[in-house]
């Protein structure tokens, strides 16, 4: 991950700013963000991303398919980097590793206008231009694209990523659980029921930044495969208002968006 991130982020110059690290969340507390309600925090998150002039993150995602008894029956893990500048475009890159496969497969999704997307994937050898956002994420990531597109959908709500919305109006039964500390940052924990009939848990700091997302979905039996669950966990290291150089949005070898 370190080599990948260093190579990919080399062209990004971060704006110098002072940032204080919030104190760890007290056990059992819901005091983060002054005790704001779940809906208030979700709206704060929505507004922070939708109004960001630039953003970057790096993170890690795991997806595990389990039987009803809890045994794993497959999954994948991926490292990812998001680079976004509202005036220049978006580039999202991931290195994927599937269970039982030692190879690393790299996928990149990019756009300069948030309407027409280009994508490439080393696993299939394809390079495609002129795709919708939804098609680009789905083709490179399959079902996990529904999760991977969460932050791009927050950054540009008008993008065609309708199935991965974290809009408060599209989540049911949102409620706060006990606060937790993620990588030294005190976070409010919110449980909700959302798109694709999934149980969601979000870890959001007092500023509205998303640090972790868990989604659990019940999978019905089909084609002789017993019923089970899919669990996806994504961890983010979000940074807002970085200075993004244009070359960071279209890495060498990746098709530029039309």
For the chain, the domains span 37-249
pLDDT digits (tens, 9 = 90+) for 37-51: 999 999 999 999 999
Q: Residue 153: name the closest of 55, 230, 17 by CA.
A: 55
pLDDT digits (tens, 9 = 90+) for 132-190: 888 888 777 665 555 677 898 899 988 877 656 566 667 889 999 999 999 999 999 99
3-state secondary structure of 223: coil
Q: Is the pLDDT of residue 256 over 50?
A: no
8 Å CB contact between 221 and 251: no
Stated pTM of the model: 0.81
8 Å CB contact between 73 and 219: no
37-249: CATH topology is outer membrane lipoprotein receptor (LolB), chain A (2.50.20)
Q: Residue 137: name the closest of 189, 92, 104 by CA.
A: 92
Q: Is the pLDDT of residue 97 over 90?
A: no
Predicted local distance difference test score (pLDDT) of residue 13: 26
C-alpha span between 185 and 173 (Å, rounded):
25
């Amino acid at each position: 991950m370190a080599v990948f991130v260093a190579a990919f982020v080399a062209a990004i110059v971060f704006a110098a700013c002072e940032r204080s690290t919030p104190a760890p969340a007290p056990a059992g507390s819901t005091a983060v963000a002054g005790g704001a309600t779940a809906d208030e925090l979700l709206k704060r998150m929505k507004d922070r991303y939708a109004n960001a002039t630039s953003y970057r993150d790096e993170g890690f995602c795991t997806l595990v398919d389990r039987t009803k008894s809890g045994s794993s029956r497959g999954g994948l893990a991926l490292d990812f980097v998001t680079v976004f500048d509202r005036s220049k475009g978006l580039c999202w890159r991931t290195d994927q590793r599937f269970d039982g496969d030692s190879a690393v497969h790299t996928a990149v999704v990019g756009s300069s206008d948030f309407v027409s997307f280009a994508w490439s994937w080393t696993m299939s050898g394809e390079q495609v231009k002129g795709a919708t956002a939804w098609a680009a994420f789905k083709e490179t990531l399959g079902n996990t694209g529904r999760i991977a597109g969460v932050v791009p959908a927050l950054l540009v709500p008008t993008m065609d990523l309708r199935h991965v919305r974290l809009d408060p109006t599209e989540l049911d039964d949102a409620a706060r659980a006990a606060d937790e500390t993620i990588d030294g940052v005190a976070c409010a924990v919110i449980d909700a029921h959302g798109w694709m009939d999934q149980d969601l848990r979000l870890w959001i700091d007092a500023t509205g930044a998303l640090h972790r997302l868990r989604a659990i979905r019940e999978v019905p039996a089909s084609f002789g495969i017993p019923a089970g669950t899919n669990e996806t966990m994504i961890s983010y290291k979000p940074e807002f208002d970085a200075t993004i150089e244009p070359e960071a949005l279209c890495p060498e070898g990746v098709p530029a968006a039309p």
